[in-house]
Amino acid sequence: MGIQAGLIIRKAASEIFRSALVSCWFMFLTFPIMVIKVNPLERTIEWRWMRLVWIGVAAFLLSFVWRYLMMRRERGSARDESESWQARLGKRIRNDRKTSYALLAALGLFMVLFPFTFSSYQTQIMISALMYVMLGLGLNIVVGLAGLLDLGYVAFYAVGAYSYALLNHHFDLGFWAALPVGASLAFLFGILLGFPVLRLRGDYLAIVTLGFGEIIRLILENWNEFSFGPSGIAGISRPALFGVDLSLDQHTIYLYYIVVALVLVTIFVVGRLRNSRIGRAWIALREDEVACQAMGIDKTRTKLTAFALGATWAGFVGCIFAAKTTFINPASFTFMESAIILSIVVLGGMGSIIGVIVGALVLILLPEYLRAFSEYRMLVFGASMVLIMVFRPQGIITGVRRRYQFRLSESREAQREKDAASA
């Protein structure tokens, strides 16, 4: 016990010393900015030493807490994932059907009453969050299930948006007629992107998809005769409701319910795809491409299906985005959008449907509700992202790997025991 206590004390003293060094280094770096204040009019210098003290104390405490958390993370890294809180919670919910039904009913009631309980501004924010839920679930097919790093996903989003905008502008086509057209065009563009990248993987695949996204954006920005260039397309029609004239708030509520319905359809379809034969082929492709091909899986068809189906949901959301904003231009479809959607998938948990939903709500709603912090809100947001990725690199909710266990029926087991006894 004495030796163990001595080791703990020495370890703590070492961590305190390192945190003190970090504090001193940070004080040295911030000294000219935080301590010295020059007044050029009065030609005076003000020395703000208390700021330096507070910076040193804060840096020391943050460094010490960070080291403590990293030590705990290293100790807990060997723990089996099946013993995690989410596995226990999921097992409890699955076993207790009444609780799961009650939670689903409460969530459904909240979503139905949301636009009547909160303001139109809050409803608009929720619509944006649900749109990113659909985008995240679509990209989850490509990145989370198939393991294909796609950095140009925003290109399919732009295809869907411009499909509806151009059809509405030139042919006065409504939202409901343009929605399947936008999804179909995005599907075709997904196949077009899939063919050149069939032999690529990893960083090379990411570079090609990034280039594809930039090509689409530059075409939309420079082909003025087709896309109206940087000026964009304005006056896009909102979704119609059997010819009834709706006010702006009523249009917002109507669009909210459209997005909720499409999110439910997306969750159902993606869930069925994940548990289907093609879904298992995607997961096999993600784990080991060579072994996947050796097992007889058509790698070409599997990749093309992943790109095409993932792009389809981006086409749907693009049409919704054009109907929501009634104005689009190429500035809405930059690489940053692809980065945000990819962050949703990684932060929520690759391959996990519930994780992607939670990641989208956190990434889209958190910056909006941190507006009270003014210029510090993005700092808080970035720090939260760093902490989650350091201490939870597998995402907020990890995708649970399904296990298939072969069990003999009772009659076959009895027959085997009888044959063994007679032998």
Give the pLDDT of residue 403: 62
Single-letter amino acid, residue 366: L
321 and 183 in a common domain: yes
214 and 315 in a common domain: yes
51 and 114 in a common domain: no
Cβ partners under 8 Å of residue 185, min gap 6 = 159, 160, 163, 315
126 and 59 in a common domain: no
Is 281 within a domain?
Answer: yes
182 and 315 in a common domain: yes
Q: Of the candidates 179, 183, 180, 157, which has an alpha carbon nearest to the alpha carbon of residue 237? A: 179
- Which residues constitute the domain of residue 201? 107-391
244 and 118 in a common domain: yes
Q: How many domains does the chain have?
A: 2
244 and 339 in a common domain: yes
Q: Of the candidates 150, 260, 161, 247, which has an alpha carbon nearest to the alpha carbon of residue 201? A: 150
Give the pLDDT of residue 80: 47
275 and 150 in a common domain: yes
121 and 44 in a common domain: no
Is 399 within a domain?
Answer: no
Is 266 within a domain?
Answer: yes
CATH number of the domain enclosing 190: 1.10.3470
Tokens at 190, concatenated: 């997904």
Is 400 within a domain?
Answer: no
Is 264 within a domain?
Answer: yes
Q: Of the candidates 228, 230, 221, which has an alpha carbon nearest to the alpha carbon of residue 155? A: 221
Give the pLDDT of residue 94: 56
Please, what are the averages of pLDDT over each run of 10 residues along the chain (423 residues)? 66 78 83 80 81 84 78 59 54 63 85 90 92 93 87 92 92 90 93 84 85 90 88 89 82 93 93 88 86 85 91 94 92 88 86 87 83 68 74 71 59 63 61
**What three-state secondary structure class fits 44?**
strand
Q: Of the candidates 338, 375, 390, which has an alpha carbon nearest to the alpha carbon of residue 136? A: 338
Please give the Cα distance from 108 to 149 (Å, whole number). 34
131 and 64 in a common domain: no
Is 79 within a domain?
Answer: no
In 61-203, at which residue ranges do the beta strands (DSSP E only) sit? none
111 and 68 in a common domain: no
346 and 272 in a common domain: yes
pTM: predicted TM-score of the whole model, two decimal places? 0.80
Is 39 within a domain?
Answer: yes
191 contacts 319 by C-beta, under 8 angstroms: no
Please give the Cα distance from 271 to 259 (Å, whole number). 18
The angle subtended at Cα 84 by Cα 130 and Cα 4, nearest 5°, is 135
Is 183 within a domain?
Answer: yes
Please give the Cα distance from 39 to 52 (Å, whole number). 19
Give the pLDDT of residue 261: 94
